[in-house]
Amino acid sequence: DAMVIQNPRYQVTQFGKPVTLSCSQTLNHNVMYWYQQKSSQAPKLLFHYYDKDFNNEADTPDNFQSRRPNTSFCFLDIRSPGLGDAAMYLCATSRAFGGRTEAFFGQGTRLTVV
């Protein structure tokens, strides 16, 4: 089945140690998104790629970076994780941006910072 896959499902990292979360999709969608969701909060968009074009949300900390080497894969890099970065990270894809199209989400990666 076509889907959005995130690895790993659970990630524990040390305070200040760089960590990378990965996302792959078989939907061949143009747009890939990274959302951060903290407990009892709404998912918050960090950035998105429209094809190779990277779009950062204005309030996304510099500590968060992303790479999209090809259509299928997208990575979230956290350069120096702090305790406040512990959250569920959701990857999503959609066919287009700014229109009548829903986003398809992966299962998420729960990040713990110790």
User: Which residues contact other proteins by CB under 8 A?
Assistant: 4, 6, 9, 33, 40-45, 48, 57, 90, 92, 96-100, 102-108
The residues, ordered by sequence, that sit 6+ positions from 86 with a Cβ below 8 Å of its Cβ are 38, 111, 112, 113
Closer of 14 and 101 to other proteins (Cβ): 101
Closer of 14 and 26 to other proteins (Cβ): 26
Min separation Cβ 27 and other proteins, Å: 12
| Torsion 59-61-64-69 (CA) sign | positive
CA gap 37, 72 in Å, rounded: 23
Min separation Cβ 60 and other proteins, Å: 12
Min separation Cβ 43 and other proteins, Å: 5
Closer of 31 and 78 to other proteins (Cβ): 31
| β-sheet bridge partners, residue 20 | 77
